[in-house]
Amino acid sequence: MPRRLRLGLFWVATSFVASGAARGADEPLRIETYVEIVLRSHPASQAALALEGSAAAEARGARLFPDPTLELSLGEGRSATDSSVRKTETGIALSQVIPWFPARAAGIEAADHAAEARRAEASATRWGLVIDARLAFFRLLEARALSEVARATEADARSLLDLVSRRASLGETREVDRIKARVEWLKQLRELRSAEREADAAEAALRTLASSPLPKPLVLGGELPGPAVAADSLRETDAARLVGSPEMLRARAEAARAASLLTSARRSRLPDLGLSLFGVKELDRDAYGASVGVVLPLWNARRGDIARAGAESQFRTAEAGRIRLALLTAVETRRRDVDTSAAQVATLMSDLLPSAAESLRLARLLFEEGETSLLDLLDAQRTAREARREEIRARFELSVALSELQRLLGPDDATSPTTPRGDTK
């Protein structure tokens, strides 16, 4: 292939890859994708994987058979009848402890429950990271939405200042109105800069949590949840949903492990069986044989171990019940927060926002016609602006309430406020 043709194909391929990368950078980052990025790169995910590996090792180690014991001896003996006769003496013994199988089965069961507790802890770690990622994403959506409101408000104030300035120069309005319009514009400019700083801080927090590079500029897809998502989250009962709570799973696994350890301690009153095979080569004889050894439970009988295991089992069972009641109380509080926030958002979106927008439209129309004062227009602008900001903040509070409710209920929740309904840049 000619060199010039190869160079041409190289530049075409390079341009194609670059254009594809640019298109990928322009695609909006949605909350599901962001959560996947955080789970893939955050150190807490590695900790969760380590806990799962520890759980697997716990279950596997309990099933291993005890290692045998090998004893070797080497010495030199002298004959009792003739001291000049010397000979090397050797000995070998191989011992194996055979566990009492009912006690071994209870120990394996206890190890399995301990593994379940560690897996529940890993699930809690991963699920907490998912909730934190969602909250960071919602926080940036809120900050950018407030920044957009501040930008639009500043543009309106600047437009009003231009209009009043032209009227003042023509003598159609007073100079004091121009001063008021300028003061209003300066206020909105200050609020815009503050909102932009908040948005930058929220984006920095989101990038930090991701623990991996994100595209610049960062375009987000989706919007804050509305009342419909809150209604979906209240469909199932707390008792049914609480089954998947990582904290509840861990408490129940600890209680089951304590019960299995109590069973193991009780069954261990019957001793393990020790078997030994030995061979001895001495000065005057060679001996081979086998031996059996057991521990007789006469004085101890593991009474102390059984008492401690029984107390621990009672404590873990009571602790699991306490955690369940505490979770039910916390879930009820979170549900009330979700219901309250959803009602506020519904009221704002259906009543307050349309009324404020219509009031602003009429006030601007009347001001342009000279039938109302600048103060009336400024008041209508403030009302519309505050209504929009209140709606954004209420939807963010709703997202926080939903996320905290899901943090308690666990990752089995199918209703998630991550459904995109539009793009927010």
d(C-alpha 41, C-alpha 388), whole Å: 36
* Helix, strand, coil percent values for the chain (each to nearest 5): 70, 10, 20
Q: Please report whether residue 9 resides in a domain.
A: no
Determine, yes or no, domain membership for 332. yes
Query: Which two tokens mark 312?
Result: 């621990």
CA nearest to 238, candidates 410, 418, 401: 410
For residue 298 the two structure tokens come to: 């006469």
Domain membership of residue 22 (yes or no) is no
Positive or negative, the CA dihedral 194, 195, 198, 200 is: negative
Inter-residue contact 287 to 280 (CB < 8 Å): yes
C-alpha separations of 266 from 102, 293, 298, 311 in Å: 10, 21, 15, 13
Half-sphere exposure of 187 (CA within 13 A, CB side): 13
The single residue listed with the structure tokens 């996947």 is 36
Read off the pLDDT of residues 133-158 as tens digits, 9 standing for 90 and up.
999 999 999 999 999 989 988 888 88
Matching residue, tokens 């071994």? 104
Task: Report the pLDDT value the prediction gives residue 1, as an integer from 0 to 100.
Answer: 47
- The string over 201-219, giving b where at least 16 C-beta atoms fall within 10 Å of a residue's C-beta and e elsewhere, is ebbeebbebbeeeeeeebe
Q: How far is CA 402 from CA 36, 129, 214, 352, 396, in A?
A: 19, 15, 26, 23, 10
- Residue 425 in domain: no
Q: How many domains does the chain have?
A: 1
How do residues 174-226 score in pLDDT, each as one tens digit? 788 888 888 988 998 999 999 999 999 999 999 999 988 999 899 998 888 88
Q: Chain centroid to CA 132: how far?
A: 6
Instruction: Give yes or no for residue 230 having a pLDDT over 70.
Output: no
**Tokens read off for 191:** 């609020």
Q: Facing residues of 248 across strands?
A: none
Domain that holds residue 85: 28-417
User: Global pTM?
Assistant: 0.76
User: Does 262 map to a domain?
Assistant: yes
CA angle 277, 280, 281 (to 5 degrees): 150
pLDDT per position as a tens digit, 319-377: 999 988 898 888 888 888 888 888 888 888 888 888 888 888 888 788 777 777 767 77
Whether 21 maps to a domain, the answer reads no
CB count, 10 Å around CB of 153? 24
Q: How confident is the model at residue 85 (pLDDT cuts 50, 70, 90)?
A: low
Considering the domain boundaries, does residue 10 fall inside one?
no
- In eight-state DSSP terms, residue 314 is H
Spatial distance between the Cα atoms of 34 and 143, rounded to a whole number of angstroms: 17
Mean pLDDT of 288-303: 80
What are 160-178's pLDDT values in tens digits?
888 888 878 887 777 888 8
| Spatial contact of 61 and 111, defined as CB atoms under 8 Å apart | yes
Which residues 6+ apart lie within 8 Å of 232 measured at CB?
415
CATH of the domain at 227: 1.20.1600.10
23 lies in some domain: no
Q: What is the pLDDT of residues 20-52, one digit of tens each?
A: 434 444 689 999 999 999 999 999 989 999 999
Query: pLDDT at position 33, please?
Result: 92
Q: How far apart are CA 186 and CA 180, in angstroms?
A: 10
